[in-house]
Amino acid sequence: MATQQQQPQQAQIQPCRYKTGKTLGAGSYSVVKECVHIETGRYYAAKVINKRLMAGREHMVRNEIAVLKKVSMGHRNILTLVDYFETMNNLYLVTDLALGGELFDRICRKGSYFESDAADLVRATLSAVAYLHDHGIVHRDLKPENLLFRTPEDNADLLIADFGLSRIMDEEQFHVLTTTCGTPGYMAPEIFKKSGHGKPVDIWAIGVITYFLLCGYTPFDRESNLEEMQAILVADYSFTPLEYWRGVSATARDFIRRCLTIEPTARMTAHDALSHAWIAASDTDAQGHEDLLPVVKKNFNARRTLHAAIDTIRAINQLRAGGGAAMMDGALSRDPGKGAPPNDAAGADGSPDRGQPTGRGAGGAGDGGGEPMQIDSRGNGHGQTEEMIREQERRIRETQAGLWAGRR
């Protein structure tokens, strides 16, 4: 009998409780799949993380799990962690399945869009951020791509997702984080300065998001990350051209200014922001009454097309510099969306490599000569006039014609 008790018990193999389905998104070391719980039949999103690809970065996953465990099911606007388990080859984070799509896609599908709608979206985001900050968590990667809707219904909850860059902070400290991280256009000055940062970086990002929601482009948008960083460090932005901001209230602009304050200690807190007149208004007196959808959609689509062209021109110039143009073959792609990297989103908590903007693709452009094409800056953070957009489109068409003429 004693001999039997000394024998080690064999570990029981637990059957997988989920069946995975279609792929919703992919990152450099993970894939997000729709999954169904076999016993209950409920659908979720499973972030499947490859252990081999994550070797040496396991702490990122452990941190993400720790953050989600701390805040899951505590706030209606935060994506819930349902389950976590691992197999021999993979780690699995199972979360709510957000079927309502990304923030800006939802806006573009609307028939109308007013300043009060933008304020509602910012209010929901701020409520969740205040909850995170109250629990000692800084998100560090707030951007429209990380804001998802729970369902396709008009009254669906907006959810903050992707906690891969979040950190649990020591409440006794303010400057606790020094690692440069996030998506450049939404990063606060103190992140670039590496002087230490904390919760105020999330408020800065909300200021950028609010600006974007009201006009369709970001305040520090530039042709290169370096120029973008230089603009952020000195808060070089304005509410121009006037034609795009005429319908936006002074209260909304004041909200943005108080978020985009260079000194972190002078920036609003999440609770301050929730009390701001633009967010807390019980009526629309403090908000504009003009339909912003035509302007927002036009600017968003124009800038997405321009950015894709700039990226293509840059790639072709690099090929020429390296003598690689002769290796190019085939026809000009007519679908700029094809070949674009999948967005690690659609209902999962995401991963830190989700910096690729949606809609980026191969546009096929160059100048047809030996000199790199010079293209206008991306509006210097002041938007683009119709004349600027038409001129850039003309130059891109000429570039395409010159590049591909020799291939016929």
Q: What is the separation of C-alpha 53 from the centre of its chain, rounded to a whole number of angstroms?
A: 23
Residues in the chain: 408
Q: What is the CA radius of gyration of the chain?
A: 23
Check 141, 202, 221, 344 and give the catalytic one. 141
Identify the CA nearest to 288 among candidates 115, 121, 120, 118. 115
- Inter-axis angle of helices 115-134 and 200-215, nearest 10: 170
Annotation marks residue 83 as catalytic: no
- Alpha-carbon separation of residue 244 from 144, 153, 241, 382 (angstroms): 20, 29, 6, 10
DSSP state string for 3-55: HHHHSPPPPPPPPPSEEEEEEEEE-SSEEEEEEEETTT--EEEEEEEETTTTT
CA 327 from centre of chain: 34
Residue whose pair of structure tokens reads 């007149």 in the numeric block: 277
Q: Is 47 annotated as a binding residue?
A: yes
Beta bridge partners of 368: none
Rounded-to-integer distance, Cα 81 and Cα 343, Å: 20
Give the CA angle between residues 208, 226, 351 to the nearest 5°: 60
SS3 (DSSP) at 195: coil
Q: Are residues 129 and 79 in contact, defined by beta-carbon separation less than 8 angstroms?
A: no
CA-closest candidate to residue 136, choices 178, 162, 169:
169
10 Å Cβ neighbour count for 341? Answer: 17
Query: What amino acid is encoded at 71 in this protein?
Result: V
Distance CA 116, CA 205 (A): 20
Round to whole Å and give the CA distance between 26 and 98: 16
CA torsion through residues 367, 371, 376, 377, sign: positive
Crossing angle between the packed helical segments 200-215 and 293-321, to the nearest 10 degrees: 110
Measured distance CA(229)–CA(236) in Å, rounded: 10
Cα–Cα dist 204/168, whole Å: 19
Could you give the residue numbers annotated as active site? 141
Detail the residues annotated as belonging to a binding site for ATP: 47
Residues comprising the binding site? 47
